[in-house]
Amino acid sequence: MSNPHTVKAFDQDLKALTRNVTAMGEFAGTQFSAAVRALLHGDWSLAQQVIDHDRRLDALRTELSTAAATVIARRQPLATDLAEVLATFRIAEDLERIGDLAKNIAKRATAVASSHFPEDMVERLDRLATLASDHLKGALDTFVARDAEQALIVRQQDEKIDALYTEIFKDLVGQLSIDPTQTIGFVHLLFCAKNIERIGDHATHIAEAAYLIATGHRPEAERQRLDTSSTLTGGDLA
């Protein structure tokens, strides 16, 4: 028979890991939002702040990974319990990558801080970032709630991010030929848009991890990917 104190202690360990993931996720989301604001509003100081604060996210990732490893060593969980702890490692990796992508956006924001971009492009990039930010929050909420049904809903929402990113990609490539004086700025925006799309992918991974924790298995259906930017031809951009 299992020792009830051990079971209770393990339960507390899992709740502590969830709190760690939440703290890291909230900070990664804050970094991302700040980086996008810096990019779209030409705020060099805010961009530099995001770059400087990236060390804090790295520290949170180390704390989370250490805590998860300690739980495995101390409790020696089996089967689904082990899968749940291992999922926190994967989520920590995704959140660290989100932080890295936010830092990259901030670095590019410093390079284009004095540039002025078309208002409609700024609005669409802002919409793309909002979708990705909401996607991340939704994924973290499903992890905390262990809600498999909602995790699948959040997972599917990545399609909206892919579709809008492809639109923005086509528009930015078109802008390169219309206004050659803005070439460097538009190239930076292209990379930033891709970083935002990738943040959506990492948020999707978190939703999939939440589903795995809740059900014990991965989603059966393959996720449809609507980012077609890598297969576009000159005719598609005409």
> Can you list the alpha helix ranges (DSSP code H) found in the chain?
4-41, 44-75, 79-111, 119-145, 148-156, 158-178, 183-215, 234-237
pLDDT, average across residues 206-213: 95
More confidently predicted of 85 and 179: 85
What pLDDT sits at residue 5?
Answer: 43
More confidently predicted of 7 and 202: 202
What pLDDT sits at residue 233?
Answer: 54
pTM of the predicted protein model: 0.89
What pLDDT sits at residue 115?
Answer: 87
Q: Is the pLDDT of residue 139 over 50?
A: yes
Contacts of 97 (CB under 8 A, 6+ apart): 198, 202
pLDDT, average across residues 124-139: 98
Instruction: For residue range 148-189, list pLDDT tens digits in order.
Output: 999 999 999 999 999 999 999 999 998 888 877 788 999 999
Are the CB atoms for 6 and 75 separated by under 8 Å? yes
Burial per residue of 120-137, b for 16 or more beta-carbon CB atoms within 10 angstroms, e otherwise:
ebeebbeebbebbbbbbe
Distance CA 114, CA 103 (A): 19
Distance CA 189, CA 105 (A): 9
Q: Is the pLDDT of residue 194 over 80?
A: yes
Lowest mean pLDDT among 9-13, 94-98, 144-148, 153-157: 9-13
Q: Is the pLDDT of residue 4 over 60?
A: no
Q: How confident is the model at residue 235 (pLDDT cuts 50, 70, 90)?
A: low
